[in-house]
């Protein structure tokens, strides 16, 4: 009975957060306290010990560094410089926005910051030049989530850390590379089906960006150092980001208070608060119960598609990074054991990460909401809301089939 109550607490926390517009992480902390204290007899210091310190430290560091890059205009200038290379071609502009989002998200800012940066620019260009707002917004979101699972981006850090904590192992670049391949394939299918290669009109006017100033050049150098330092020298990405951000503050590349204020504290609270509740639920046997239930629905052939559908549907109505991955990744090892290891914990974890991100263009998610918020004045918001919702379900079917095929032919193993 305790196991069922603990599992239901996750669902109730999500419902309260969704209906009352309260951070789910905050609600999760409340449930974690009462469940842990009165059902699990856990002391407060034990509950506090469940706070994912490495995850918090890393996410804070990397988002602080890229807050500097956003404030001083470095990221926007990178975007404008690359867009200028399109020479005004409508088809090329849309393709460039996808790969630009993929690139920027991959080097550290992650999917939310990248979409927040590019969606207003892309939507304005699309509206002025009579390009499809649905195509532009979807491509930017897809590019952002394609790069969002990079090992130095916030969501990628969360996925890898959850895999490590729950004994799945070090997945390195595997999640990121498979995510890029899956997202790019869907983006290609989507773009072709929407006749993006036959965009009306020929060219639009684009202007060259101003040269990078000294602060922006220093910020660009810091980003390059971060990538080299982390990938080649295996330095902790959180510490590396704090060091580089501090150097930028010393040289006054951005205002420190403004940069700290732009750190996505609501997302960090969502992820860390939910992590504490998941740890309590696991302690009370709820995760084992969920694992056994999922195992009754799955076999070698259906495990990956079913997990993809479950992850994707949850993500349409909640947060991939704050709810779906912290809830489902802890089941990976035991679920694999229940299935007699015919499906590996790594394959299950990768499926959860990829499918939960593929559907985040849903208007009920942060990414879809950013697209709606970026609409130019006078545009029909309801139409885009409906279309993004439809695309999220189409992407869900696509990723479930694709990952099932990947598993069958041994790519996802």
**Residues 309-338 pLDDT 10s:** 999 988 887 788 888 999 899 999 999 998
| Mean pLDDT, all residues of the chain | 89
Q: How far, in Å, are 10, 84, 103, 107, 398 from residue 136 at the CA level?
A: 35, 17, 16, 22, 20
pLDDT for res 77: 86
**Residues 251-281 pLDDT 10s:** 999 999 999 998 888 888 888 898 899 899 9
Work out the pLDDT band at 351, boundaries 50, 70, 90. Answer: very high
**Residues 150-169 pLDDT 10s:** 999 999 999 999 999 999 98
pLDDT for res 203: 66
Per the model's pLDDT, the better-predicted residue between 298 and 188 turns out to be: 188
Enumerate the domain spans of the chain: 2-49+87-205+264-408
Place of tokens 């979807």: 138
Work out the pLDDT band at 200, boundaries 50, 70, 90. Answer: low
User: pTM of the predicted model, to two decimals?
Assistant: 0.84
Q: Concatenated DSSP letters for 318-375?
A: S-IIIIIHHHHGGGHHHHHHHTTTSS-HHHHHHHHHHHHHHTTTSTTSHHHHHHHHTP
pLDDT for res 317: 77
pLDDT for res 185: 97
Work out the pLDDT band at 368, boundaries 50, 70, 90. Answer: confident
Place of tokens 């070698």: 300
Residues 142-148 have a mean pLDDT of: 96
User: In whole angstroms, what is the distance from residue 234 CA to residue 151 CA?
Assistant: 11
User: In whole angstroms, what is the distance from residue 167 CA to residue 66 CA?
Assistant: 30
User: In whole angstroms, what is the distance from residue 314 CA to residue 310 CA?
Assistant: 6
pLDDT for res 390: 94
What's the longest Cα–Cα distance across the chain?
Answer: 68
pLDDT surpasses 80 at 231: no
């Amino acid at each position: 009975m305790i196991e069922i109550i603990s599992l239901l607490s996750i669902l109730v926390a999500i419902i309260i957060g969704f209906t009352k517009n309260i951070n789910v992480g905050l609600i999760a902390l409340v449930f974690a306290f009462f469940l842990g204290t009165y059902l699990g007899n856990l002391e407060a210091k034990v509950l506090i010990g469940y706070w994912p310190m490495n995850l918090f430290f890393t996410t804070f560091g990397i988002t602080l560094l890229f807050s500097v890059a956003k404030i001083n205009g470095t990221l926007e200038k990178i975007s404008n410089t690359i867009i200028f290379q399109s020479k005004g071609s409508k088809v090329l502009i849309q393709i460039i926005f996808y790969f630009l989002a993929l690139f920027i998200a991959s080097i550290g800012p992650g999917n939310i910051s990248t979409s927040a940066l590019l969606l207003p620019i892309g939507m304005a260009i699309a509206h002025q030049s009579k390009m499809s707002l649905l195509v532009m917004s979807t491509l930017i979101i897809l590019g952002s989530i394609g790069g969002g699972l990079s090992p130095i981006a916030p969501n990628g850090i969360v996925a890898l850390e959850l895999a490590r904590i729950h004994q799945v192992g070090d997945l390195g670049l595997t999640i990121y590379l498979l995510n890029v391949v899956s997202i790019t394939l869907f983006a290609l299918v989507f773009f072709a089906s929407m006749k993006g290669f036959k965009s009306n009109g020929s060219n639009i006017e684009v202007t060259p960006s101003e040269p990078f100033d000294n602060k922006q050049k220093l910020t660009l150098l810091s980003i390059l150092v971060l990538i080299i330092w982390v990938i080649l020298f295996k330095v902790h990405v959180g510490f590396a980001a704090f060091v580089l951000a501090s150097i930028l503050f010393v040289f006054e590349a951005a205002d420190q208070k403004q940069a700290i204020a732009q750190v996505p504290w609501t997302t960090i609270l969502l992820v860390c608060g939910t992590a504490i509740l998941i740890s309590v639920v696991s302690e009370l046997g709820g995760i084992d119960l969920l694992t056994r239930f999922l195992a009754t629905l799955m076999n070698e052939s259906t495990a990956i598609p079913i997990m993809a559908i479950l992850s994707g549907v949850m993500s349409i109505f909640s947060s991939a990074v704050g709810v779906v991955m912290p809830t489902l990744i802890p089941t990976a090892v035991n679920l694999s054991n229940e299935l007699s290891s015919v499906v590996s914990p790594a394959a299950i974890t990768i499926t959860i990460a990829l499918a939960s991100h593929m559907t985040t263009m849903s208007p009920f998610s942060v990414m879809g909401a950013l697209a709606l918020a970026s609409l130019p004045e006078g545009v029909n918001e309801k139409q885009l809301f409906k279309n993004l919702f439809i695309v999220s379900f189409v992407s869900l079917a696509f990723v479930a089939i694709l990952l099932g095929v990947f598993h069958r032919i041994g790519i996802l193993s």
